[in-house]
Amino acid sequence: MNKDKMNGYVDTVKGKAKEHWGKLTDDRSTETEGKVDQVKGKLQEGVGKIKDKLSR
């Protein structure tokens, strides 16, 4: 697992936690930030997967 995949996974998990916290506190901006973090994490994971395939 390369650095990009790991950072993407961390961002995805962080985004899910932030989204749930926003729902619990009824804070739409935090909830939206969480969703954005999740998308950013998924994109970074995809970049990491592509780099893995290219390095093989």
In a domain, 16, yes or no: yes
Looking up tokens 């893995």 gives 52
Rg (C-alpha) for the chain, rounded Å, is 13
Q: What would the pLDDT profile of 36-50 be if each residue is shown by its tens digit?
A: 999 999 999 999 999
Domain extent, residue 34, equals 3-51
pTM of the model: 0.86
Number of folded domains that form the chain: 1
Q: How far apart are CA 42 and CA 1, in angstroms?
A: 15
Query: Going by C-beta distance under 8 Å and a sequence separation of 6 or more, which residues neighbour residue 23?
Result: 31
Q: What would the pLDDT profile of 1-12 be if each residue is shown by its tens digit?
A: 789 899 999 999
In a domain, 37, yes or no: yes
